[in-house]
Chains A and B, each alone.
Chain A
Amino acid sequence: MAEDFLHDYRKAWSFMIDLDHVSKQYEKGLAAVDELSLHVDKGEFVFVVGDSGSGKSTMIRLLLKELEPTSGIITVNGRVLNTMRHGQIPKYRRSIGTVFQDFRLLEEMTVYENVAFAMHAVEAPGRLIKKRVPQVLHEVGLSEKYRSLPRQLSGGEQQRVAIARAIVNSPQILLADEPTGNLDPRNAFEIMKLIEQINHSGTTVLVVTHNKELVNQFQKRVIMMRNGTIARDVEEGGYIEA
């Protein structure tokens, strides 16, 4: 019995993301995530698809430790989130880059400042910031626009800034919640290529999306969620309607 228990936890630590029978019930009593079990390996690229209200965003928020699970165990890169103290959360979140559908850029800051802000926020040394920010802006193809304000950029460019900000601290995991939701097909494809490129450099990627074309084009692992649990989990799959 004890050996099985230890075996399960050793296994959980070997994954980059491990959700073990995780449920999250909001106050109204409805379970947004219901007995969800999911494993994501280091360096994997996973699409999470599903209708609105299927529990995708709750899962992202649980992984960011914005929410506490009602039951179940969440382990990320060997750290059990359930027992993590408030003071340990900042250090944990530094290992995760996050990209949102609405970009969430700071409007009064330039492209450079938006990206540098993420490094200031983790108290990186000034000279490292000066070196790293131009490097990342080059990677996302925005070297020329470092002095622009977000409102002077196209949607695709704004999302590139958001991606640059997410990866500037070299996270081990990139969580992208509908990163192409506000973009036209061409920009959406380019953003997904960029995310794939980041994945190729070793970062584990979890992309929540509704974009069927992209899911079908990229042929990655696809997890379909329905009613807070996994309805389908396919390697190199496509987007199949529920």
Chain B
Amino acid sequence: MRPSSFFYQIRQGFKNIGRNKLFSIASIATMTACIFIFGALFSVIMNVDSVRRDLEEKVGVTVFFIEGTSDERMQQIGDEIRAIDHVTEVTFTSADEAWENYKAEHFASNPELAEGFKDNPLANSASYTVLVDRIERQQGVVDQISRIPDVRQINQSSAAVRNLASFNQVFTYISVAIIVILLVVSVILIANAINLGIQTRSDEIAIMKLIGSTDAFVRAPFVVEGLILGLIGTVLPLLLLFLAYSGLVRALLMRFGFLGEMGDVLLSPASVFAVLVPIGLVLGLGIGLFGAWITVKRHLDV
């Protein structure tokens, strides 16, 4: 296509939107609503997933040894565990450390009660805490550890993570269903807006075809129109979402900031929007392009 034809088509695309104001506004409004809801659901999915990953990294298994295992043997067991695939971290807790931790946790308000124990009641409680890269690989690692001689017991505390993972999965399915419905609605509305434009310009299309315009040339202004509607209908909700999300993160930081880690509960706006913006743009422009394409295709047989 010649540059002059290219710019002519772009101008025609903008003119189409102007001639068809009401439907253009309706399309942009629907797109905005759809992409906003999509973005909001997507942000929630990203955050839930991030919490799950975070927990996966923190929740491990605890490995105990049979009574009388020597320090040297314990060290050997530690090395064997480290050699297992997907193990990311192995931390040793001696029996004394285990008792100190227990006291700090349970006798903090009544330290005199702990004094009643002359010997370490957790003398047989030295352990390794083992972290795995992904929660679904934990069971395999546990099975391998259980085959190591002198290992007495393995405690898994992954129930919470599993619940969170399955919640996220269900939430993702529901979100995907909602998003698909919204996308279909968007395509139909954009197609309607363009269809109306085509009907009001059927003379123009007929003349273009009779003069000898190619299908691509007839289609181009409508495609430009669809892309512009898609672009505006994406940028607007992404901007609104960015403001809303940043505001939410700021509000949480101000309210729960003193709780330290609570401030990290939500992903930063930058990390969410680094993913959301390209996906949103591809979706929005895709909806615009697809809506225009299917609509013009039906009217090109002149």
Which of A's residues lie within 8 Å of B, judged by CB? 64, 66, 87, 89-96, 98, 104, 106, 108, 117-118, 120-123, 125-126, 129, 165, 169
CB proximity to A under 8 Å, residues B213-241: 213-215, 217
Contacts of A95 in B (CB 8 A): 212
Q: B212 contacts A125, CB within 8 Å?
A: no
Q: A93 contacts B203, CB within 8 Å?
A: no
Closest-by-CB residue of A relative to B7 is A126
CB proximity to A under 8 Å, residues B255-302: 302
**B interface, over-half SS:** helix
Task: For A123, give its contact among B5, B19, B203 (CB under 8 Å).
Answer: B5
A sample of 24 cross-chain residue pairs with beta-carbon separation below 8 angstroms, ordered by A number, consists of: A66-B302, A87-B214, A89-B212, A90-B214, A90-B215, A91-B212, A93-B209, A93-B211, A95-B212, A96-B212, A98-B211, A104-B203, A104-B206, A104-B207, A106-B207, A108-B19, A118-B211, A120-B5, A121-B208, A122-B211, A123-B217, A125-B2, A125-B4, A126-B3
CB distance from A184 to the nearest CB of B (A): 25
Of the listed residues A66, A96, A120, the one surrounded by the most CB atoms of chain B closer than 10 A to its CB is A120
Asked whether any CB of chain A lies closer than 8 Å to the CB of B102, the reply is no
Asked whether any CB of chain A lies closer than 8 Å to the CB of B210, the reply is yes
Count contacts on B: residues with CB < 8 A to the other chain.
21
Contacts of B206 in A (CB 8 A): 104
CB distance from A146 to the nearest CB of B (A): 18
CB distance from A102 to the nearest CB of B (A): 10
Q: How far is the CA of A79 from the CA of B206 in the complex (A)?
A: 23
Closest-by-CB residue of B relative to A109 is B204
Task: For A93, give its contact among B5, B204, B212 (CB under 8 Å).
Answer: B212
Contacts of B213 in A (CB 8 A): 90, 121-122
Closest-by-CB residue of A relative to B300 is A86
Q: A94 contacts B211, CB within 8 Å?
A: yes
Which of B's residues lie within 8 Å of A, judged by CB? 1-5, 8, 19, 203-204, 206-215, 217, 302
In addition to A66-B302, A123-B1, A123-B217, 4 A-B residue pairs with Cβ atoms within 8 Å of each other are A96-B212, A98-B211, A121-B207, A126-B4
Task: For A98, give its contact among B5, B203, B210, B215 (CB under 8 Å).
Answer: B210
Closest 4 CB pairs of A and B: A126-B4, A94-B212, A93-B212, A121-B213
CB distance from B201 to the nearest CB of A (A): 9
Q: How far is the CA of A169 from the CA of B208 in the complex (A)?
A: 13
Contacts of B302 in A (CB 8 A): 66
Q: A169 contacts B212, CB within 8 Å?
A: yes
Contacts of A165 in B (CB 8 A): 211
Closest-by-CB residue of B relative to A119 is B211
CB distance from A226 to the nearest CB of B (A): 27
Q: How far is the CA of A120 from the CA of B212 in the complex (A)?
A: 10
Q: How far is the CA of A66 from the CA of B302 in the complex (A)?
A: 7
Closest-by-CB residue of B relative to A94 is B212
Contacts of A117 in B (CB 8 A): 207-208
